[in-house]
Amino acid sequence: KQSIRQDDRPATSSSYLIIRPNTGISYSGMDADDLHAKYTKVSATVAEKLWTKSYESTLHRCQHGPSCKLGPQCVYGVRRLTVSLLSGAVTSLWPALEKTVAMYRQQLAGVEKQLRAYRVELDSGDRLVGIRFPMWLVDTLLQNYTELTTHTHNDAVAAGQSTTCHESPTPVDEQARKKALAPPKTLLTYFGGAQSEKQQNQQPVTSHPKKATTTKIPRVNSKSKSSSGPPTKQ
């Protein structure tokens, strides 16, 4: 039996919020018809006992109970999960990862069937990035990786190909070499180089000094005029 709690506040006009003891609030609501068809209303005393039992039993075990067909690998409804990550250079392990997941696809949870990268932060503050992968399949993963590597080596030998390839050195590109060895440009060298290049491109211009010219201003002699009337004799 599974215990749920129906919130009095409806999520929408026709659905209700559902709260479970092991997973908390559901992301989606439930219609009133589905609610009454799947669950039976009980008293508060009976609901408390069922709620407590479901909460305690799903701490490290799925909500299917001890008779689950998938065994301890089933994590459906578990309240506390132990997640393992494969970090480092996992690209070479990818074919073995896909083969291992395909072998145990029916026993894996939905999030473990897809090889996705996760970033987690530990209690110490350190951060890890890796592929989520169940710990109980690590031995099978290593076995598949060894088999795939051996088959690849044997196929190469059978085809007459050497596993070691020696290539002649590639000639050096002089233009790329000069560009790589050139000192990095800064604001000062960039604009200074551009200014010097601009000066080199300009043609020299010969300047001729201009002769100073003087302008003669005519001199005007002014005569004083006497006041009106005949001149006086002394």
Q: What pLDDT, on a 0 to 100 scale, did the predictor assign at position 197?
A: 54
pTM of the model: 0.44
pLDDT digits (tens, 9 = 90+) for 42-61: 888 998 898 888 888 888 88
Backbone angles phi, psi at 20, to 5 degrees: -110, 150
Percent of the chain with pLDDT over 90: 3
Question: Would you state the structure tokens that stand for residue 199, as one six-digit string?
Answer: 């000066």
- Reported as a single tens digit per residue, the pLDDT across 125-153 is 888 899 888 888 889 999 998 888 887 65
The pLDDT confidence band at residue 123, using thresholds 50, 70 and 90, is: confident
Looking only at the bridges linking them, the beta strands covering 5-10 and 24-25 are unpaired
| pLDDT for res 154 | 61
CB-based contact 35:16 (threshold 8 Å): yes
Cα angle: 119, vertex 27, 77; to 5 degrees: 70
Rounded Cα distance, 75 and 113, in Å: 13
Higher-scoring residue by pLDDT: 228, 137: 137
pLDDT of residue 74: 79
CA distance 3 to 225: 132
pLDDT at position 70: 73
Mean pLDDT value across the chain = 75
pLDDT of residue 140: 92
